[in-house]
Amino acid sequence: MQPMRRRQRGFPLLCLSTALLAAAALLPGAAVAEGVTPSEARRLRDEVKDMFYHAFDGYMKYAFPLDELRPLSCQGEDSLGGYALTLIDSLDTLALLGDKEKFGAAVEWVGKNVRFDINKTVSVFETNIRILGGLLSAHMIASDYATGLRIQSYDDQLLHLAADLAQRLLPAFDTPTGIPFGSINLKYGVDENESKITSTAGGGTLTLEFGILSRLTNNTVFERVTKNSVRGIWSRRSKLNLVGAHINVFTGEWTQKDAGIGTSIDSFYEYLLKAYLLFGDEEYLYIFQEAYKAAMHYLHHDPWYVEVNMNSGATVWPLFNSLQAFWPGLQVLAGDVDPAIRTHDAFFSVWKKYGFTPEGFNLATLAVQNGQRSYPLRPELIESTYWLFKATRDYRYIDVGRDILASLQYGARCPCGYCHISDVETHKQDDHMESFFLAETVKYLWLLFDLAAGPDNIVENGPYKYIFSTEGHLLPVTREIALVDEHCSYFGAFCNGSANRGYGTSASSTKHKKPNYTQLDDIQTPSGHYSASNMFATSSYIKGVCPGLTHAQKLGISYSDEEGNVIEQTSESHEHHGEPAVASSVQAQSSNIILISHPVASQPDEALRRWSGSGDHADIVVTADSDSISHDNTDGSLGVNTEELTEDTGRSSKQSEDEDIAQNLKSNEDIS
């Protein structure tokens, strides 16, 4: 994954507090939606189903077996590897819709015709989430009688393809840090001129797919290399527990130090929590807790999120980008529903303003960011809408879904499918349809309305609970995948009297070592130790192991500074004997959501309190130079108070959009 040049410097001098106060005016009122009858929900669900088939049939007629459809010109194009990308990405959506005939035919065709021994250079990240994830999800559905979609003639063809593909991606992990190259040639491996810079999301969004493959094939190498990659990134976090956007996979140096929850970083956070929920691995939970606390402290300007310098915490960019919209959904999974509600309202207000969310919306100028005017049919806002409705059963989220559906139908529908919107202000269409439109955007919309209609699908009523990958693929939490009786832990990293045995030290080395995956029968971790045990609960997981050490040290996690030195953390900074950010127990909720237990408001309107807090706050001044940003508060903190959210707020939906923009950005009066 190549570094993304996604913003322009030369931002004029302004006070961030004024910008955020203005941006809160985008927030819509908190009025509860009118009741939606089951028949109305079914009508909306059926409309989404028709939307799927309009696009899917257009792809099959005009583009298949090329990767993606050009929906305006009714042609096809190869955009990733030339192996029917959209079909593979759509397999589990066909299954979710209960289309046994087309699902079976598609699985059979892919098993017989797709091959990866091709001279194609592909993105490791995109190939993993779209192709590998699509193959694995469809395999687990097609091979399991419990799903009701078992294909009689199926003989693990998709699993064999997935294993072959993952083997071809493995050479990308042959780096001194364990963080993979962004791209690889499926036939010849990593090109000698391949960029050594990759994104944090590119290196940290591999654990679910590779981990499942390890469990299905009994080959631990896939899971080990992706866990090493996460460790390689996390060990280089700043002292604030923030990670940057781009990193050199050889030196471990951050080449872009902006920390955020959007572009280039987003799914790093997502896969930390989901890897714990899917696999039960406490290490992922611990890292997520630390990363989430830091994000909420330094990035959260309630209800918005900004980008900051990972080392200083100074705000460098007051920007909402559309990829941030996944965050409320992740917060629902983490049990932190209150801020999710407020942030979702803020993000949806941008959609209401334009009919779509632009790739970038500047919170300072209240305008679409130059160069980021498009809406490429992204699913993230719909995903969060689905999770919030699932958690709250507040029918205003059905109204949100209805508005989004209307925008897509009237603004994005094309002769053969659905088009990208090249400019959200003019609604000009672009002749492109990403495969994730069928894998995610339509899927989450359909699930939203089906849930309101009285759900009848394998996600809500099937034999398993599911974790959704970042591409929306269905990953079942089965005993085979979760290994609930065989929790693997990595003890011993600091137990032998040497604090430099943690992987922060070895990962910081710039000497090129042999990749871990070459030792197929050797299950050594970078610290030199591996053990498996039945300890699953947090208390038994850490009790009696390496006494006196921090949780981070027990797991072998340290962090490296800019020069690659390992900085030993004190036990005070990472002890978890107090209240953790997120409790470690997992509960299966009645609404079929897997939640980490966390106290939240029981009623939706109780959660809709004032956006602002009170207290001493900072003046944060943004200049053209992102490194010269000053904080006027005396204690050096961001001065954002997210605790004192007490008053209910509600406004008439009859007020104009301009009044909306002016009124609710006042939400951030706590940033002066």
**pLDDT tens per residue across span 552-566:** 655 556 555 543 433
Which residues are annotated as part of the binding site?
470
Q: Is the peptide bond before 303 cis (omega within 30 degrees of 0)?
A: yes
pLDDT band at 220 (very low <50, low <70, confident <90, very high): very high
| Average pLDDT over all residues of the chain | 76
CA 300 to CA 189: how far, in whole Å?
40
pLDDT of 588 above 60: no
pLDDT band at 32 (very low <50, low <70, confident <90, very high): very low
Rounded mean pLDDT, 317-321? 95
Whether the Cβ atoms of residue 150 and residue 144 lie closer than 8 Å to each other: yes
Q: Which of 140-144, 240-244, 561-565 has the lowest mean pLDDT?
A: 561-565
User: Between 169 and 517, whose confidence is greater?
Assistant: 169
Our answer to whether residue 192 is catalytic in this structure is no
pLDDT of 382 above 90: yes
Whether the Cβ atoms of residue 240 and residue 299 lie closer than 8 Å to each other: no
pLDDT band at 38 (very low <50, low <70, confident <90, very high): confident
Which residues are annotated as part of the binding site for Ca(2+)?
470
pLDDT of residue 482: 85
User: Between 145 and 484, whose confidence is greater?
Assistant: 145
pLDDT of 181 above 60: yes
What radius of gyration, in Å, describes the C-alpha atoms of the chain? 24
Rounded mean pLDDT, 412-421? 98
Show the tokens assigned to 452. Answer: 């309101």
Rounded mean pLDDT, 277-297? 96
User: Between 31 and 342, whose confidence is greater?
Assistant: 342
Q: Which of these is catalytic: 67, 266, 307, 670?
A: 266
Q: 3-class DSSP state for residue 179? A: coil
Our answer to whether residue 108 is catalytic in this structure is no
Share of the chain above pLDDT 70, in %: 67
pLDDT of residue 37: 85
pLDDT of 497 above 70: no
pLDDT of residue 577: 37
Q: Which of these is catalytic: 283, 380, 431, 670?
A: 380
pLDDT of 654 above 80: no
Q: Which of these is catalytic: 144, 283, 359, 394?
A: 359
CA 135 to CA 132: how far, in whole Å?
5
Give the number of other Cβ atoms within 10 Å of residue 551's Cβ.
23
pLDDT of residue 520: 28
Query: Exposed, middle or buried, 303 (CB in 10 Å: 0-12/13-18/19+)?
Result: buried
Q: Which of 110-114, 434-438, 468-472, 563-567 has the lowest mean pLDDT?
A: 563-567
Our answer to whether residue 126 is catalytic in this structure is yes
Query: Exposed, middle or buried, 13 (CB in 10 Å: 0-12/13-18/19+)?
Result: exposed
Residue type, 535: M
Q: Which of 47-51, 400-404, 507-511, 538-542 has the lowest mean pLDDT?
A: 538-542
Q: pTM, whole model, 2 decimals?
A: 0.74
> 242-272 b/e with 16+ CB inside 10 Å = b?
bbbbbbbbebbbbebbbbbbbbbbbbbbbbb
pLDDT of residue 461: 93
Rounded mean pLDDT, 223-242? 98
